[in-house]
Structure 1
Amino acid sequence: MDFQQLATAASQHFADARPLLPMYLHLIISALFPIYTGAHASLSRPSSAAKPAKTEQKTADAEDDDEEEEEVVQKMEGLSPQDALVFPVTAGIVLAGLYFLIKRYGAHLINLILGWYFSGVGVFSVAKLVNDGSNFALSFLLPTYFVHKGKLFKTDASKRKAVSQDGAAEASSSPGPLWITMLPNSFVDQIWSLRAAVRKRYTTKGYIHDVVDFKANLTLINALSALFGIGSVAYANLVAKPWWLTNLQGFAVCYSALQIMSPTTFATGSLILAGLFCYDIWAVFFTPLMVTVAKNLDQPIKLVFPRPDQPSAIPGEPPIRSFSMLGLGDIVLPGLMIGLALRFDLYMFYLRKQTKRKSPETTTSPSGTVEPTEDVEKAPYVSVTGNWGDRFWTSRLPASARPQKLNASFPKPYFIASMVGYVIGMLTTLGVMSVFQHAQPALLYLVPGVLASLWGTAVARGELKHMWEFSEAITGEQLEEDEKQDADKDAEKTGQDGQSLFGRLWSEIFDASKDEASKKDASPSSAGKVKDAKQPPDADAQDSKSGVPDTDTLISFSIKRYSARRASFNSKSKAETPPVAERAQTPSDSSIDDAVLVETDEA
């Protein structure tokens, strides 16, 4: 075939695919959205940065206590090389099992069962996506910092004013940049009230004997997001499943997965993608499993995109509507490596900011010579997440005139390179699918695109050694002594040390011996003995005051106004004598450092 014939065939294929270009654009943007947002939401303090600088203690009676964001530890489930070997095998077994069940019992029954099975994950994921999206939008509508007449202002909820930050006594009654519209005072008061309502926190406790025991500090946005998540899942399972609702749940699952899972190292991530690369080829090209299951399951395991309607072959019949599909694995699995690349960019940014100084201590080398040692000083970490609205409304000011937390940015060469590789792989997938008119295993093109871009960037920048040695596993240097003890206690309690992800899940579900031992320890007789031996006669009254339900309580639920002073006192008392009912909970009102904790067998 000469060049002219090749050009003619290419133009013909382009003309045939031209009506599908909007759908292809929709597909690419939909795949990039959860990867970009989930990767940025997973950012936390890297091991190359020091703890954030301590801020002054807030007064307990300040009305704007709730406006300050709590520092939390970003806990992620680390994957191991053993998981890389188990993933393809497990995926193949599950896929074959679903194929058999669909052929044997029909897709309707399987969709009904799986719909309720995935409901818990759907509620959590949708609620988290809506919650974060709402807070993102509110940061633009009700920012904390904004610029007025070239001056930086900060809102003060206690005084219902925005105070100038240049040292002058100038203040504005507006809660943000809405002063442009010259709103009436009554409307401004409503905005202040709305701002206080959405940022106010409430301590919520719920208890059902032997079933539920939780405590959380929630805002109005948290509660509404949870209701939205429950409503979306209930509508999908009881009423109908439109394609956009399936996509919403799919977006949410991808967004959440990128924040709770990490490949831990680039080597492990590459091994996982290589194994699933082979699995995807086998499942699509050599068996009918993947295509059959994807077409029949109407669950949040895929994204669907409406194709242009095609006229029916029967006169008078409505046009035929069809959909293109993209599995969530084609988003999450490369997305895990892309998210790791973004966190590696942040790690390298703070690694370059480290300085070394001579230490007064010395060490003795194997040859017997005394050598001076060097101390590494790490730059304090400045959070790079959140404050999007504040950054937007203060972008006109020079960096020196803005607070430090609004200048938190860093170069992202590895993240950008991996995103470009993903887009190239996706375009290749769509092009091959359009030419051959056959379903394509997207990982066949996405895996080489992402891995080649990442490792190629490391080689080009001369940072291959740093990339190979980078790990997000927990180390003693990254944890303070108390945090390390808490991690050891959690690992000892759950019996997860030295196990891979699948091993820990297997132990959690099927290891009955530990459950029996824990039941014996928590038996009424033993509990009574402990109570009689160590607690005073008025222990029941103390339990009720501390918020811990006594043994006679069956159901309890309470909502209280969050108090910074009470939270601080409770966190100290818990550190001394932790209540039994709350010992397994991580108190969200305690002050803990912002850092990435990846739980792996290397911990």
Structure 2
Amino acid sequence: MADVVFSFLAQASENTTENATNTSGRPPSTPEGMAVAYGSLVIMAILPIFFGSYRSVNYHKEKKPEKMTKKDAAMFPIMASCALVSLYVVFKLFSKEYINLLLTGYFFFLGVLALTHLMSPVVTKLVPAAIPNIPFHILFKRGEGESSQDLINYRFSSHDIVALACCSLVGAWYLLQKHWVANNLFGLAFAVNAVELLHLNNVVTGLILLSGLFIYDIFWVFGTDVMVTVAKSFEAPIKLVFPQDLLTNGLAANNFAMLGLGDIVIPGIFIALLLRFDHSLKRNTHTYFHATCFAYFLGLMTTIFVMHMFKHAQPALLYLVPACLGTPLLLALVKGDITLMLKYEDSSEEKDKDEGKAVKQEAKKAK
């Protein structure tokens, strides 16, 4: 599911930070309202990166995640550009209402699943111990013996079902009202899951990916109206929004500032890699992770400042990429870790060896 979510994050390409006031014709927001809106967006951007990064460390220890290669990273901006242009053409040729109706249904299912993945551990802790947690396992195979292939191999429990039911209520709320709170719950769930589940295999791959998307973002925001048009037309929880008129209109506020999830996930998966690099150094410190998180914060604040000064949508990666790449590389150069960082490979050799032994043992048993 993570691959699908990340694909949509990049394809829809809402990698812009925008002040909705300047394009909507609504009355200007108060300085206090704008401060609350952008402050909330910054907090909501940092939290998924922070928690998703720590979850990625645990996920890497427990499972063997799929990793993005250098070739994948180099091709990604090209594929994202093709998808972005395709969405632009679709919105120009067909009615936005029908397209967004299909997208709403699709993201309803994705959002419920993503939110359930986050809420299941919480529900497990809240459910009284007297209520049993019954495990289930759905397995659907094709073939027999060593040549068999798992088409469906999913484990869950009765507590997961309870979490799914609760998250479905949030999904129903989003379907019926498209409320900004429900949108943000789904958006945060997408961001945390993406940072947790999507892994870069090394720092060089991260450099290639972020550098390519740096150029991609600048071109499509400043060079054409494609990205901004898609961002405004695409009604799906792939952006975080916060009303600038919350102080005056409460939860019914509708004058939004927004931040695309791409601006969270793309730097986030690189920052999560740096946390795993910190762990590999075994120094009991998270220097590179914390320093890059702070650099991300400064880059996001710079984006908001420039946008406010020039009254124009900004490609946030223009400011985030130099901050998130320059900070750890400069710090590694100063600390003498630059060679270690560039040679670091995000893999678990011990886990691979254990899995190899397990496969051999199963093959012997089968014989």
**TM-score interval, normalised by the smaller of the two chains:** 0.7 to 0.9
Matching of residue 268 in structure 1 with residue 205 in structure 2: yes
Counterpart for residue 118 of structure 1? 107
Q: Using the alignment, how far apart are the partners of 1:107 and 1:575 within structure 2?
A: 58
Give the distance between the partners of 2:253 and 2:137, measured in 1 at CA: 52
Partner of 1:231: 169
Q: 1:207 to 1:261 in 2, by over 3 A?
A: closer
Largest Rg, 1 or 2:
1
CA change 1:257–1:326 in 2 (3 A) is same
1:38 to 2:52 alignment: yes
CA distance in 2 between partners of 1:575 and 1:299 (Å): 50
Q: Name the counterpart of 2:339.
A: 465
Q: 1:81 to 1:332 in 2, by over 3 A?
A: same
1:196 is displaced (CA, Å) by 3.6
Query: Aligned partners of 2:189 and 2:53: how far apart in 1?
Result: 13
**Is structure 2 residue 271 aligned with structure 1 residue 346?**
no
Deviation at 1:114, TM superposition (A): 1.6
- Relative to total residues, which structure has the larger helix share, 1 or 2? 2
- Residue 264 of structure 2, aligned match among 315, 318, 331: 331
Counterpart for residue 96 of structure 1? 85
Q: 1:79 is matched by which residue type in structure 2?
A: M
Query: If the length of structure 2 is used for normalisation, what is the TM-score?
Result: 0.80
**8 Å CA contact 2:267, 2:320 repeated in 1:** yes
1:133 Cα offset (Å):
4.2
Pick one of 346, 352, 358 that aligns with 1:479.
Answer: 352
Give per-residue Cα distances to partners, 1:77-121, cap 9 Å, x unaligned: 211111122111111111111111112112211111122333443
Give the direction of change, closer, same or farther, for the CA distance of 1:235–1:16 in structure 2 (3 Å limit): closer
- Report the 3-state secondary structure (helix = DSSP H, G, I; strand = E; otherwise coil) of the residue aligned with 2:345: coil
Q: Which residue of 2 aligns with 1:129?
A: 118
Amino acid at match of 1:232: V
Alignment length (residue pairs)? 329
Paired position in structure 2 for 1:241? 178
* Percent identity between the two aligned chains: 33
CA distance 1:342–1:292, change in 2 (3 Å) = same
Residue 202 of structure 1 corresponds to 134
Tell me, in whole angstroms, the C-alpha distance in 2 between the residues paired with 1:279 and 1:264. 22
Matched-pair contact (CA < 8 Å) for 1:78–1:473: no
Match of 1:440 among 314, 317, 334: 314
Contact 2:307 2:313 in 1 (8 A): yes
1:216 to 148, 155, 161: 155
Judging changes above 3 Å, is the alpha-carbon distance between structure 1 residues 217 and 249 closer, same or farther for their aligned structure 2 residues? closer
Displacement of 1:484 in angstroms is: 2.4
For residues 126-158 of structure 1, what are the alpha-carbon distances to aligned partners after superposition, in whole Å with 9 as ceiling and x for unaligned? 1012224445xx4xx8xxxxxxxxxxxxxxxxx
Q: 1:82 aligns with which of 71, 84, 87?
A: 71
Determine if contact 2:133/2:157 at 8 Å carries over to the other structure.
yes
Question: C-alpha offsets along residues 291-340 of structure 1, whole Å, 9 cap, x if unaligned?
Answer: 111112111211111112799xxxxxxx9842111111000000011111
SS of the residue 1:194 aligns to: coil
Residue 6 of structure 1 corresponds to none
Q: Aligned pair in 2 of structure 1 residues 213, 83: CA closer, same or farther (>3 Å)?
A: closer
The 8 Å contact of residues 81 and 268 in structure 1, kept in 2 or not, is answered as yes
Whole-angstrom CA distance in 1 between matches of 2:121 and 2:208:
32
Distance 1:93 1:456, change over 3 A: same
**Distance verdict in 2 for CA 1:196–1:342, change over 3 Å:** farther
RMSD: 3.1
Question: Which residue of 2 is the match for residue 73 of structure 1?
Answer: 62
- Mapped to 2, the partners of 1:344 and 1:424 lie a distance apart of 22
Q: Deviations over 1:159-207 (max 9, x none)?
A: xxxxxxxxxxxxxxxxxxxxxxxxxxxxxxxxxx92342xx43132457
User: Are the structure 2 counterparts of residues 437 and 215 from structure 1 closer, same or farther at C-alpha, using a change threshold of 3 Å?
Assistant: closer
Native 8 Å contact 2:138 2:155 kept in 1? no
Q: Relative contact order, CA 8 A, sep 6+: which one is greater? A: 2
Residue 449 of structure 1 is matched in structure 2 by 323
Query: What is residue 55 of structure 1 aligned with on the other side?
Result: none
Quickly say closer, same or farther: Cα 1:575–1:128, change in 2 above 3 A: farther
Shift of 1:478: 4.6
Match among 26, 29, 48 for residue 43 of structure 2 = 29
**CA–CA distance in 1 between the matches of 2:242 and 2:70?**
35
Q: Matched residue of 1:454: which SS?
A: helix
1:204 partner SS: strand
